[in-house]
Amino acid sequence: MPVRAIRGATQLDVDEREHLFDRTRELVQAVLDANEIDTASLISIFFTCTPDLVADFPAAAAREMGLGDVPLMCAVEIGVPGALPRVVRLMAHAEINVPRADVQHVYLHGATSLRKDLAQ
C-alpha cells in the first residue's frame, strides 16, 4: 500500500483552547473524510501553529478524537511578517491506494487563501 502525505490548514478566530480543539478536530475529520481514510491507515500527523497560537496543542485535540495510537507532533510555524495569523497546519501520512495527484488536501476557513488551487 502506498504512503501519501496529505496537507491541510485552518484559521482560528481567536486563540482559545476550545476553539483550537474545535477547528483542529474539524480539520482532521475533513482530511479523513475527503480521502476516505480510516484511522487504522494513518501513519502520523505533524501539526504546526503560527506563533500567535499558544492556547494548547493541536495534537491534544486529535488525541481526544481517538487518535492516541497515531504518532502526533506539534511545532511552531515560521513567523513570517504579514503571514496569515492564527493558522493550524497539518501534514498527515497515511497508507492510501490512490495516485499522488488524487490526494485531497483540505484548507478551511481563512486558510483557504493559502492554497486557492486546493481549497474547498
SS3 90: strand
Which of 7, 17, 23, 95 is catalytic? The answer is: 7
119 phi, psi to nearest 5 deg:
-65, 150
Angle (CA) 119 9 68, round 5°: 130
Which of 18, 74, 95, 100 is catalytic? The answer is: 74
Active site (annotated) includes residue 100: no
Active site (annotated) includes residue 77: yes
Active site (annotated) includes residue 89: yes
Active site (annotated) includes residue 7: yes
CA distances from 10 to 5, 19, 32, 45, 116 (A): 17, 11, 15, 15, 13
Which of 4, 23, 77, 86 is catalytic? The answer is: 77
Which of 63, 86, 95, 100 is catalytic? The answer is: 63
Active site (annotated) includes residue 49: no
Which of 4, 23, 86, 89 is catalytic? The answer is: 89
Q: Which residues are catalytic?
A: 7, 63, 74, 77, 89, 107, 115
